[in-house]
Amino acid sequence: MSTAPRPSERVCFQLQVDAARLGEYRERHAAVWPDMLRAIEASGRRNYSLFLREDGLLIGYYETEDDAASQATLEADPRTAAWEAEMAPFFVALDGRPDQGAPRLPEVFHLEDQLAALDADADAER
């Protein structure tokens, strides 16, 4: 069982990348601007990953202590506005900045949570 501190929030989101621009989108994310990387880090987001399907379906995931605070920090950071302005044309049917307008997906299962509950029940029975 892991002893690492757990984040208070795990966030997953979905966007649609224009299928005609997938190659360019991948290239841009192979070397994200250093200032943008630092801005994401400063916002409190950790373990941030993007997954891209061949039809352009993009799934993102990150962990944070407070997603609302993380969002506000990124929204106010001038380093993120420039990156998001460059990335916005890649997305289909997006309202607003990519980081702010991406629909969140609700979490329905997390292995470690259920294992912890199982362990707690077993400890309570002892």
Q: For residue 44, which amino acid is it?
A: G
Residue found by looking up tokens 């352009």 in the block: 56
Q: How far apart are the first and last CA of the chain?
A: 19
Q: Cα(16)–Cα(59) distance, rounded to whole angstroms?
A: 9
DSSP conformation class of 102: P
Residues marked active site are found at: 29
User: Of the candidates 48, 25, 103, 41, which has an alpha carbon nearest to the alpha carbon of residue 77?
Assistant: 41
In sequence order, the 6+-apart residues with CB closer than 8 A to the CB of 63 are 7, 9, 10, 11, 45, 46, 47
